[in-house]
Structure 1
Amino acid sequence: MKIKIAFLLISVLFITTNIIAQNVKFGKVTKKELEEKFYPEDTVANAAVLYKNRRTFYELDADYQWVVKTVVHERIKLYNKDGFKNATKKVGLYSKGGDDELFSIKAYTYNLKGNKIEKTKLEKSGVFKEDMSKNWKSRNFTLPNLKDGSIVEWRYTITSPYYASINDVSCQYKIPIKYLDVKIQIPEYFEFKYLPSRYYPIKVKKSQIRKGYTITSKTRSVGGFSVTKTKTEYDDIKITENTYVINEMNIPALKDEPYVNNIYNYRAKVAFEISAYRPTNGITKFYNTTWEDVTKTIYESQYFGEQLNKKSHYKDDLTNITNGTTSQNEKIISIFNFVKNKIKWNEEYGKYVSIEGIKKAYKDGVGNVAEINLTLVSMLKEAGLSASPVLVSTRAHGIPLFPTKDGYNYVIAGVETQNRVILLDATEKYSAPNILPLRDLNWEGRLIRENGSSTTVSLYPSKYNTKKIKLSTKLDSEGAISGIMMTTYTNLNALQYRDNYASLTEDELISKIESNNNAIEIEKIRLNNKNDLSKPIVEMVKFTRDNQVDIIGDKMYISPLLFLSTSENPFKQEERLFPVDYGSAWKKEISITIQIPEGYSVASKPEDFSLALPDNLGSYILKTEVIGNKINVTSQTKINAAIIGANHYKTLKGLYKKAIDNQLEKIVLVQGQP
């Protein structure tokens, strides 16, 4: 009975959505839609997609070549000014070797003026071109005449000669979607596999239909009196199409949450990846079906693997660098630091070098990711080390769902030793062996060896990302404190500190530290090991802070961690569908000594408190000890994994809450003896 009811509900939803789709016509906005004041399913939403329709299908062009057409129709309600940003759209277009994807658009803004609907057209001059990278361009537009309650609507078409590629179907935005209607039609000659995202379930209904195509052919002949005649013939054929249909209602907004590597990794979507093309009168072309196939194809490219054999331009430098090095680690660090200083990153991503290759980048002293890190791999190999490129998909690029060349957009270096793989990224000035910049820390990379074998490697650091704070303070009778604070940063924390603060002036740095520590006033500051990447960076400040404690009558109430207390839980949602990604296991330790004012004593203090997460995922400890006229407070928060699964979200959120509650408890001082 339950199965029948579930089937009935799905059938009703499918039929309902189809009826809605048939009734939603481009340009036919209703007064009811314009009068709507809020989205019923999410009353705090600033905007909502009232309807999204997408059609992707194949056609034969004038030269009888397959092209892929994608038509997207979206109607969006803007409830207030905070929703206006949803009237801006960027549509990516692929371009390679002069074969550009074509783009056309119609778009309007609708407003209710009195009892009439006012319609404002997006002019051609309102559509702008942008070069995003070597092979990617975009068309950007913002709808005009926006007001509270406006509706914007567009319908655009992309015509692509790249018949082996179908863009992902985006089924979720940062605003809710009321109705989603999608149909993908693929001729039988193309074999595609599809995969819906796992974090928000999208139902895909697959079927087959027969579709007619008309093939036009023209022949010319020369008749009497040299008159040329053209004969046009039409041939109607029918082929089978695999059809994929998505009909969904009330898809919730994708909410921003803390500690997410890339929120768009987790949105609802359906990805399509080609596996074969079987023309009627040709040889079947198979596409990469495993990551091993993908990496082999990438390695064999003249813009990748061949670059590793180009050595003549650096041989003299390499000899000078390695002279005097006695160990493997010394060689690695010497070559790594040399490449970092020799070639500056031009901020361009990519796994392939430019046409000029690594020699040009080496000579000019500037290059893209591949030019820098493939140079590094080549020099390490030439120095006798077991070095190989490691393909990476950066956090912003996302997590690839299928084995595809486009799944990777970045390359770093890996050196295989007896016990481990040492990862290196020479684009980052402050990186160190196995301390990669945060952009690289996206699950796994793939190390490709010269013999064609490959293996996955974890990109997450094995060492804790630590921050240690030692605070020595003196409290006066007016409730003000003064003292010395020493903060030590290691590993990823040290890299990020140097990256964010090393270039600041002293005044700018003081301002940042004061802001990050609840408006303490810094009198002096000193940084140790700012440029020595082999050591932790140490920040020392002499400070004061007024009104640190609450004074009521003859009592003082002190927060155990003073201005270092955590006051807000970063986790707001009741539930979370995707993992918490810190980028690294981490540890924060605080040690505080408070000298209490003369004439006061400790009346009470918080009880020692500790809490552990299941499966040894993390812990929290706070201890308070009174010795004479000094209070010693120690605290440690430790997370033992870079990623914590969504199944532990509520427990993790609870740990933060209990830690905050614990830090709200007060140390109470009284005048005289308690």
Structure 2
Amino acid sequence: MKKLILSLAATLAAVSLLQAQEPDYRFGKVSEEELRMERYDRDPDAEAVILYEELRTYFLIGNQFTRMTDYFIRIKVLKAEGKEYADINLPYVFQRENYANLDAVAYNLVDGKIVKTPLKKQYLFREQVGDEQWMLKFSIPEVREGTVIEYRYRMNSDFVTYIPSVVVQHDIPTVRMKATVEIPEYLRFNVNTKGYLSINMRENTIAGRIAGTDVPYNVREITTEGRDIPALKKEPFVWNRNEFRSMIDFELSQIAMPFSDVQNFSLTWKDVNEALAETDFNSNIRMGNPFKEETAAIVARNLAPRQTLHELLRLVQSHMKWDGKYRLMSSSPRNAADKGTGNSAEINSVLMAAVKDAGFDVVPLLLNPRSRGRLPLAHPSFDGISTFILRVTLDDGKFAYLDGTDPDSDVDLLPTDLLVDRARIYGVSGDVGWCDLSRLAPGNTHINMTLGFDPELSVHGRITERYTNVPALRCSSAYGDARSEEEYVEALEEEHHIRIDSLTINGLRSAHLTQEFTMTREPETAGDFIYLNATIIPFLTENPFKSPERKYPVEFDNPASYTMQGVLRLPEGYVVEELPRAARFNAFDGDITCFYMAQATNGVIQFNMRFNQKRLIFLPEEYADLQAFYGAVVNICNSRIVLRKQQ
């Protein structure tokens, strides 16, 4: 009996100790242990860590129907870079949403004592960022490496048919989080989890009551909790990182209010098309052509169809400049044409009017730019549609694609952000309405070099670079963005590690661009030896895939091929001491290949490199092989041509 009592006492003591070690997650209860924390062992490189996050979204039903959100977060700043998490931006819609009960405090350990610095109300700012969109902004004071910050607020909204996503995974790691969403029975939502982390989600039914009455109703309670949630790391080659962020999404499916007809909101693409037909979108794409005379003059030239489309595109772009905003519809594209500036909907509506006026059959393609995420497959909605481009049917039954936003774009040459793998043909229902634009304009780069040595043993010669499609667009954009040709040349010199003596560019703002230049490069020397890069100018000097593992896919911009051919005449009195070994790599059943060869004959070195990538997307389980492939290519590119002076 005595042994049992001792055992029970030991168990209670252990439980008490565990409870004592559990942090106090109430607002204002930051501990000295949290302030002394110097790193997060599960992610030693983290610049900050969320110690605790709690969210509750619920509805108040009475004289008004209101969606409420109570939010609280505590963050530990571990490095100087983590101070940015003390700068807070809270979005809201003017006159329909507002924040209340906002508190924010910084905690620092000074001479062994906890010093609190609260946010003063005069440091709250409101900024208009859209027609009705505003931002509540504040910066928590006295934040530095080692600080713990926390803030909380209550937000109320009359957008009761919308529930914001519950974000489980952030850009920094999270020690512990809890979220609850309470949905009254009158609103029915499809609840979907997304991301690469498993989400522990539970559902329960609890009781609610209409304010000021005894009228009860059922509430669907959805709860998730998590511990030690890793950060969603920034990685190269990702179209939209949020597509892989673990979160819970809510999509309205039905409103069933008492004494009212049930309203269903689960849409098909047929529903989306029909709804758009009743909006400004439909009237905009049927507008008259504001550039009728100029269009007629282009048509009168009897150009080939694609050349006619090219001229119509340039016509609209010469009259209208993009304001940088993606929109699906607008109140008046014609006014935008008169002003000379407009959003994507206004510019492409005007472009569509001109193309139709020229006698072409054209239809809008609805899409979301890559940077904003893909259109939903399972649950069609308006929320995922940000803009549209044009698909034109040619006489041979083939299609041509146009977008007027980027002044360097062309027929079938769209900005990479619009080369989506999931666009919808307006007016078409079902699976046949999907359109893949990701392989619309495969990139091709061909570089030819004829080089030798001058009397000072500097490499000197001529380089011709030919770009097709996306590489041509990027080159045009870089040239257009430079403040002068001298600035463009300086950037090209830095990229190639050379000095450029003269430059000629042909084909700007087209799918086929050529730039030629004479160059000089100082090779590395040591005694009787000259060392040169295997490709003279760099191709791939370091592996872009540095992380040991990857949790989400690798997404390249577009299919691409790269060819480099060179002839290098040796300087008088020198011979080849060493050449890089020939290599040929073939991975993923030929989806990505690389070839390199160099040979020397009669005082001349000839080298050839070809890199070809057909596939755009590689899955996480393929990452190790992709990383190894790029590592092998880097090794070739960093290998050397060695010349030796004859004795």
TM-score by length of 1: 0.88
Corresponding residue for 1:87? 86
CA offset at residue 106 of structure 1?
1.2
Corresponding residue for 1:273? 251
Corresponding residue for 1:612? 586
CA deviation vs aligned residue, 1:488-528 (integer Å, no higher than 9, x gap): 2221111111112235312211211111122x222222222
Contact 1:559 1:565 survives alignment (8 Å) = no
Residue 393 of structure 1 is aligned with which of 368, 373, 386? 368
Kindly tell me: are residues 196 and 524 of structure 1, through their superposed partners in 2, closer, same or farther at Cα, counting changes over 3 Å? same
Deviates more, 1:108-117 or 1:98-107: 98-107
CA offset at residue 570 of structure 1?
0.5
Kindly tell me: are residues 478 and 566 of structure 1, through their superposed partners in 2, closer, same or farther at Cα, counting changes over 3 Å? farther
Structure 1 CA distance for aligned equivalents of residues 38 and 570 of structure 2: 58
CA offset at residue 126 of structure 1?
1.8
Deviates more, 1:368-377 or 1:114-123: 114-123
Say whether residues 1:559 and 2:533 are aligned partners: yes
Corresponding residue for 1:198? 195
Corresponding residue for 2:42? 41
Contact 2:194 2:245 survives alignment (8 Å) = yes
CA offset at residue 108 of structure 1?
0.8
Say whether residues 1:668 and 2:646 are aligned partners: no
Structure 1, unmatched stretches of 5+, are 1-16, 216-234
CA deviation vs aligned residue, 1:321-376 (integer Å, no higher than 9, x gap): 322335433442232221121222122221111x3x12211222221110110122
Structure 2 CA distance for aligned equivalents of residues 179 and 50 of structure 1: 6
Say whether residues 1:545 and 2:542 are aligned partners: no
CA deviation vs aligned residue, 1:539-590 (integer Å, no higher than 9, x gap): 22222122x13435x4444332123252210101122222222221011111
**What one-letter code is carried by the residue in structure 2 that aligns with 1:575?**
E
Q: State the percentage of identical aligned residues.
A: 25
Say whether residues 1:72 and 2:64 are aligned partners: no
Structure 2 CA distance for aligned equivalents of residues 465 and 82 of structure 1: 37
Structure 2 CA distance for aligned equivalents of residues 348 and 278 of structure 1: 36
Contact 2:195 2:243 survives alignment (8 Å) = no
**What one-letter code is carried by the residue in structure 1 that aligns with 2:517?**
V
User: Which aligned pairs between 1:360-509 and structure 2 lie closer than 5 A?
Assistant: 360-401=335-376, 402-417=379-394, 419-449=397-427, 455-475=433-453, 480-504=458-482, 505-509=484-488
**What one-letter code is carried by the residue in structure 2 that aligns with 1:242?**
R
Contact 1:602 1:669 survives alignment (8 Å) = yes
Structure 1 CA distance for aligned equivalents of residues 188 and 131 of structure 2: 29
CA offset at residue 65 of structure 1?
2.8
Contact 1:434 1:461 survives alignment (8 Å) = no
Contact 2:273 2:427 survives alignment (8 Å) = no
CA offset at residue 127 of structure 1?
2.0
Residue 290 of structure 1 is aligned with which of 263, 268, 271? 268
Structure 1 CA distance for aligned equivalents of residues 135 and 545 of structure 2: 35
Corresponding residue for 2:492? 513
Residue 589 of structure 1 is aligned with which of 563, 584, 609? 563
TM-score by length of 2: 0.91
Corresponding residue for 1:257? 235
CA offset at residue 245 of structure 1?
0.8
Kindly tell me: are residues 395 and 19 of structure 1, through their superposed partners in 2, closer, same or farther at Cα, counting changes over 3 Å? farther
Contact 1:502 1:530 survives alignment (8 Å) = no
Kindly tell me: are residues 246 and 407 of structure 1, through their superposed partners in 2, closer, same or farther at Cα, counting changes over 3 Å? same
**What one-letter code is carried by the residue in structure 2 that aligns with 1:181?**
K
Contact 1:374 1:389 survives alignment (8 Å) = no
Structure 1 CA distance for aligned equivalents of residues 447 and 303 of structure 2: 37
Kindly tell me: are residues 639 and 450 of structure 1, through their superposed partners in 2, closer, same or farther at Cα, counting changes over 3 Å? closer
The two structures, once aligned, show a CA RMSD in angstroms of: 2.5
Residue 113 of structure 1 is aligned with which of 110, 115, 136? 110
Structure 2 CA distance for aligned equivalents of residues 342 and 453 of structure 1: 37
Residue 575 of structure 2 is aligned with which of 601, 604, 607? 601
Deviates more, 1:331-340 or 1:580-589: 331-340
CA offset at residue 261 of structure 1?
1.1
CA offset at residue 435 of structure 1?
1.0
Contact 1:469 1:591 survives alignment (8 Å) = yes
Residue 320 of structure 1 is aligned with which of 266, 281, 297? 297
Contact 2:99 2:153 survives alignment (8 Å) = no
Counterpart secondary structure, 2:211? strand
Say whether residues 1:158 and 2:155 are aligned partners: yes
Corresponding residue for 1:172? 169
Counterpart secondary structure, 2:210? strand
Corresponding residue for 2:623? 649
Structure 2 CA distance for aligned equivalents of residues 21 and 457 of structure 1: 53
The number of residues matched between the two structures is 627
Kindly tell me: are residues 331 and 537 of structure 1, through their superposed partners in 2, closer, same or farther at Cα, counting changes over 3 Å? closer
Counterpart secondary structure, 1:376? helix
Structure 2 CA distance for aligned equivalents of residues 455 and 19 of structure 1: 59
Kindly tell me: are residues 382 and 65 of structure 1, through their superposed partners in 2, closer, same or farther at Cα, counting changes over 3 Å? farther
Kindly tell me: are residues 19 and 240 of structure 1, through their superposed partners in 2, closer, same or farther at Cα, counting changes over 3 Å? farther
Structure 2 CA distance for aligned equivalents of residues 269 and 332 of structure 1: 43
Structure 1 CA distance for aligned equivalents of residues 474 and 530 of structure 2: 38
CA offset at residue 380 of structure 1?
2.2
CA offset at residue 463 of structure 1?
3.4
CA offset at residue 450 of structure 1?
8.7
Structure 1 CA distance for aligned equivalents of residues 506 and 594 of structure 2: 29
Counterpart secondary structure, 1:77? strand
CA deviation vs aligned residue, 1:184-215 (integer Å, no higher than 9, x gap): 10011111011111322222112211223333
Structure 1 CA distance for aligned equivalents of residues 338 and 100 of structure 2: 40
Counterpart secondary structure, 2:141? coil
Structure 2 CA distance for aligned equivalents of residues 145 and 586 of structure 1: 49
Say whether residues 1:309 and 2:289 are aligned partners: no
Structure 1 CA distance for aligned equivalents of residues 50 and 214 of structure 2: 40
Contact 2:60 2:211 survives alignment (8 Å) = no
Corresponding residue for 2:325? 348
Kindly tell me: are residues 387 and 106 of structure 1, through their superposed partners in 2, closer, same or farther at Cα, counting changes over 3 Å? same
CA offset at residue 404 of structure 1?
2.0
CA offset at residue 76 of structure 1?
0.3
Structure 2, unmatched stretches of 5+, are 1-17
Kindly tell me: are residues 19 and 206 of structure 1, through their superposed partners in 2, closer, same or farther at Cα, counting changes over 3 Å? farther
Say whether residues 1:573 and 2:552 are aligned partners: no
**What one-letter code is carried by the residue in structure 2 that aligns with 1:82?**
E
Contact 1:53 1:73 survives alignment (8 Å) = yes
